[in-house]
């Protein structure tokens, strides 16, 4: 999954903001949410995000795994994510099933 093309974001040291221009909505993010969105924008997949957050914040892997998965589901529910398409023309949802 990747951030939808109709989404704009800004990131600061203490969090961030997402603007969904397709639906006219705005969401505020805490520091962890902002880091997750930033990693999605850079092409990280769910497992890479979990690894980075675990390392950066020194939080247990199982807790981060659950929380990241829930956060990504929330982004998906609000239609802020889109599938990643590959050069072969196939669409793959680069989403790990936990």
**In the numeric block, which tokens belong to residue 23?**
């639906």
DSSP-derived 3-state class of residue 49: helix
Give me the residue spans of the domains in the chain: 2-85
With cut-offs at 50, 70 and 90, classify the pLDDT of residue 91: very low
Length of the chain measured in residues: 98
Question: 39-87: per-residue pLDDT in tens?
Answer: 999 999 999 999 999 999 999 999 999 999 999 999 999 999 988 765 5
The CATH number assigned to the domain with range 2-85 reads 3.90.930
Q: What is the pTM of this model?
A: 0.82
């Amino acid at each position: 999954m990747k951030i939808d093309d109709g989404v704009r974001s800004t990131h600061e040291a203490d969090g961030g903001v997402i603007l969904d221009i397709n639906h006219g909505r705005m969401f505020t993010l805490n520091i962890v949410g902002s880091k997750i969105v930033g990693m999605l924008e850079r092409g990280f997949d769910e497992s890479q995000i979990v690894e980075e957050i675990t390392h950066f914040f020194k939080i247990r892997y199982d807790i981060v795994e659950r929380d990241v998965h829930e956060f990504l589901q929330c982004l998906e529910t609000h239609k802020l994510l889109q599938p990643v398409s590959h050069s072969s023309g196939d669409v793959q949802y680069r989403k790990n099933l936990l």
